[in-house]
Amino acid sequence: MLYDKIKDTDPETYGYIKSELARQQDGLEMIPSENFTSIAVMQASGSILTNKYSEGYPGRRYYGGNEFVDKIETLASERAKKLFKVPYANVQPYSGSPANLAVYFAICKPGDTIMGLDLTNGGHLTHGWKTSVTGQTFNSIPYHVKKDGMIDLEEVRKLATENKPRMIWVGYTAYPREFPFEEFSRIAEDTGAYLVADISHIAGLVAGGVHKSPVEYVHVVTTTTHKTLRGPRGAMIMVTDKGMKKDNELGKKIDKTIIPGMQGGPHNHQTAAIAVALLEAAQPEFREYANQVVKNAKALAASLMRNGITTVTNGTDTHLILVDLTPFGNGLGIFAEEALGAAGITVNKNTIPGEPSSPFYPSGIRLGTPALTTRGMKEPEMETIGMLLAEVLKQVKNEKLPENKEEIQRYMESFRTEIKGNQKVKEANAKVLEISRRFPLYNEIESK
Ligand code: DSN
């Protein structure tokens, strides 16, 4: 009954929310950066806290009436500090990109040299990609993965030694292996750089103890809160003891960069939801969850490979699998995303190392197990889902994008219609529905 007031007030918006609820319930959500929050997190996020302005920080605000908001923000940041074992946490960034921007402006001046993994190799826009303000404001030197998909640490060392960056990012959005924090810390130390870990993808795995924590190795950690951490949309910036030792004003500088530097009033409903999510993530059940996310990803990768699908680095250490479709042809990611979508499986097309096509028409897809694991699925379901994925992916084997860009849209429209009628895709969709219904999601939201 959570949404009955929306239904009364705005039937149109309600209708779309209801359709989206059904989509989430009846499909397999396999985008690795998505998850299903608890109802408690959603209630905090949908609470009356959205009504309040609170520019500033607890105890020093520009507006009155913040006695309870102060408590909530302090609670969230204390929980973050305890969970990740850091001395400083700012929970106000609106999302991951502003969090990363704030770190730049706290540490660097425009024009300074920075390093991050190339976007098409699995990095993030805000790690210095040329079309992002980060790539335009700073002198960005991208590093890469090797042919085998692993980070090219020799290249990182060479580039860092030659270019003496002010800051280096270690953190990825499409990298299936353990993030090499320790190796990067040696490089950063030898070259004097600030080392910043963006753990948005793996924060829940770090909190759950199934991925090495960056805290011992880096100066600053940023993370979104809505991926494996299973909180609301939002982000946090944390400074480690090592970061405080390098610059004991770093926390203060980050606070100042967030407000007044970049943001206005914090989203207090979001802060409260982060507090709830951090409490959940500190429970023993969350450790089990994080452990199962990785077990599921390994089982899924094994099933895919047994069924003839190539995965970058031949498996995974994390929640994420990068499928390489080049054995079937170049630039097939878009066809795979559409075909799987028609089967009720949501994924995203992605570039692969050495991408032979283009970022918009890449040759891979990215898969993840965080959301399926939240539903309670385990290895047997991963085995079946791996088979279904392989069967559907094989249906796009003979596809080829037209050379002429104008024709692509028309071609994709006819592909979309055709693939919906494909017998194998229809069979996969029936199976997807059966699995989804066995692992119900948000039944308590079902409206009147
Ligand atoms: N959109 C996020 C992801 O999917 O990895 C990164 O910002």
CATH class (in words) of the domain with range 44-281: alpha beta
Asked whether the predicted pLDDT for residue 51 surpasses 80, the reply is yes
Query: pLDDT grade, residue 404 (50/70/90)?
Result: confident
Residue among 26, 34, 55, 247 flagged as catalytic: 55
Question: What's the per-residue H, E or C state across the chain?
Answer: CCCHHHHHHCHHHHHHHHHHHHHHHHCEECCCCCCCCCHHHHHHHCCHHHHCCCCEECCEECCCCCHHHHHHHHHHHHHHHHHHCCCEEECCCCCHHHHHHHHHHHHCCCCCEEEEECHHHCCCHHHCCCCCHHHHHCEEEEECECCCCCECHHHHHHHHHHHCCCEEEECCCCCCCCCCHHHHHHHHHHHCCEEEEECCCCHHHHHCCCCCCCCCCCCEEEEECCCCCCCCCCEEEEECHHHHHHCCCHHHHHHHHHHHHHCCCCCHHHHHHHHHHHHHHCCHHHHHHHHHHHHHHHHHHHHHHHCCCEEHHHCCCCCEEEEECCCCCCCCHHHHHHHHHHCCEECEEECCCCCCCCCCCCCEEEEECHHHHHCCCCHHHHHHHHHHHHHHHHCCCCCCCCCCHHHHHHHHHHHHHHHHCCHHHHHHHHHHHHHHHHCCCCHHHCCC
Examine the pLDDT at 61 and tell me if it is beyond 70.
Answer: yes
Say whether pLDDT at 448 is over 80.
no
Q: What is the mean pLDDT of residues 353-376?
A: 96
Domain segments of the chain: what residues? Answer: 44-281, 295-438
pLDDT digits (tens, 9 = 90+) for 136-188: 999 999 999 999 999 999 999 999 999 999 999 999 999 999 999 999 999 99
Q: For the segment 4-39, what is each residue's pLDDT rounded down to a tens digit? A: 999 999 999 999 999 999 999 999 999 999 999 999
Percent of the chain with pLDDT over 90: 95
Report the pLDDT value the prediction gives residue 261, as an integer from 0 to 100. 97
Question: Of 73, 152, 198, 317, which one is the catalytic site residue?
Answer: 198
Between CA 412 and CA 291 the distance in angstroms is 39
By most ligand atoms within 8 Å of CB, the mutation choice from 31, 124, 126 for ligand 1 is 124
**Mean predicted confidence (pLDDT) in 87-107:** 98
Question: With 90 as the cut, is the pLDDT of residue 446 above it?
Answer: no
| Average pLDDT of the chain, as a whole number | 97
Active-site residue flag, 71:
no
Query: Mean pLDDT over residues 365-390, rounded?
Result: 98
Neighbours of 10 (CB within 10 A): 12
| Whole-prediction pTM | 0.97
Q: What is the pLDDT of residues 72-89, one digit of tens each?
A: 999 999 999 999 999 999
Nearest CA to ligand 1 atom 2: 33
pLDDT reading at 63 higher than 70:
yes
Residue from 233, 253, 416, 424 carrying the catalytic annotation = 233
Asked if pLDDT for residue 371 goes beyond 80, the answer is: yes
pLDDT at 243: 98
The CATH fold assigned to 295-438 is Aspartate Aminotransferase, domain 1 (3.90.1150)
Give the mean pLDDT of 117-127.
97
Residue 447 has pLDDT above 70, yes or no: no
Instruction: Give the residue-averaged pLDDT of 285-314.
Output: 98
Q: Which of 166, 227, 366, 431 is catalytic?
A: 227
Provide the residue type at 21 as one letter. L
Q: What is the pLDDT of residue 403?
A: 86
Does residue 288 register a pLDDT over 70?
yes
Take residue 405 and report the two structure tokens written for it: 């860009």
Pairing of the two strands 56-57 and 348-350: unpaired
Percentage of the chain lying above the pLDDT 70 cut: 99
Instruction: Compute the average pLDDT of residues 38-48.
Output: 97
Cα separation, 231 vs 98, in Å, equals 17
Indicate if the pLDDT at residue 401 is higher than 80. Answer: yes
**What is the position in ligand 1's atom list of the atom closest to the CA of 33?**
4
Which atom of ligand 1 lies nearest, measured to the CA of 224? 7
Residues 6+ apart with CB under 8 A from 6: 13, 14, 17
Active site residue 230: no
374 is catalytic: no
- Mean pLDDT within 280-287: 98
Decide if 227 is catalytic.
Answer: yes
Neighbours of 123 (CB within 10 A): 24
Structure confidence at residue 2 (pLDDT):
76
Provide the CB-side half-sphere exposure for 47 (13 A, CA): 21
Say what the pLDDT of residue 1 is. 60
Residues 191-201: tens digit of each pLDDT: 999 999 999 99
State how beta strands 167-170 and 113-117 pair.
parallel
Residue nearest to ligand 1 atom 5, measured at CA: 173
**pLDDT at 406 (0 to 100):** 84
**Ligand 1 contact, 33 CB (< 6 A):** yes
What per-residue confidence (pLDDT) applies to 42? 97
Closest protein CA for atom 1 of ligand 1: 33
**For ligand 1, is residue 96 a contact (CB within 6 Å)?**
yes
Identify the pLDDT of residue 216: 98
**pLDDT mean over 217-222:** 98
